[in-house]
Structure 1
């Protein structure tokens, strides 16, 4: 059964997950914002998060002036796959790390190899 959680509480958990990311790693992130939405575009319910932008490894001399990359964590799909609030905490942390990894140019295949599916 999906967890019932307010948008405010879910955003707190995303903030807490970001607080757990090492400062050294966060300081390397550049021009990226974090967002929380209820559902992905199109209303799909199996996508927990998404990275949209140009990974640091792909940025060239012509990157200046670009809009910020976006990392979006989706509340309702995350709640759907969790049975307890503790599950939500864990899933949010995994999803945040997964999407941050994309910002650093790490693809899904490598994330799966590393155990961050």
Structure 2
């Protein structure tokens, strides 16, 4: 089922959706997010897509860039903060094609998935965390 979209939310509006989801992260996880930076962009850059072996920029809805907590050591001090980026246009396309959930829910899903990489979570653990964020 394809959904008809009127005016697509702006980057700022999608960032607000992601922030609301981030605010619902359980405290046990939130306190370990540290300085993780969350950003929304229209698309991933070509070099990131090439690095991930992704042909279409519409195939990447989000990415975690950093060192998972489970892999950190003293050698990682002084590095750039970890970052979660959500890609607005691929998220909007997926949302319009799925038609089975709200855009806020899909944004939260992508955000939780990427944050899950920060914690080194399995897909099953990510689903459990996502249920807590709903």
Please show how residues 1-117 of structure 1 align to structure 2 within 5 Å. 1=3, 3=5, 4-42=8-46, 44-83=57-96, 87-106=102-121, 110-111=122-123, 113=124, 116=127
Secondary structure (helix, strand or coil) at the match of 1:92 reads helix
Q: Which 4+ runs in 1 deviate beyond 2 A?
A: 113-116
TM-score of the two chains, using structure 2 as the length reference: 0.73
Aligned residues: 111
CA drift at 1:87: 2.2
Conserved? CA contact 2:113–2:126, under 8 Å: no
Residues 59-110 of structure 1: CA distance to partner in whole angstroms, max 9, x if unpaired?
11211111101100111110111136x621111111111011100112xxx3
Residues 19-50 of structure 1: CA distance to partner in whole angstroms, max 9, x if unpaired?
11112211012332111111011271111110
Conserved? CA contact 1:2–1:81, under 8 Å: no
Gaps of 5+ in 2: 47-55, 128-134
CA drift at 1:9: 1.5
Q: Distance in 2 between matches of 1:24 and 1:17?
A: 15
Q: Distance in 2 between matches of 1:7 and 1:101?
A: 22
Q: How well do the aligned residues superpose, as a CA RMSD in angstroms?
A: 2.0
Q: Distance in 2 between matches of 1:99 and 1:2?
A: 27
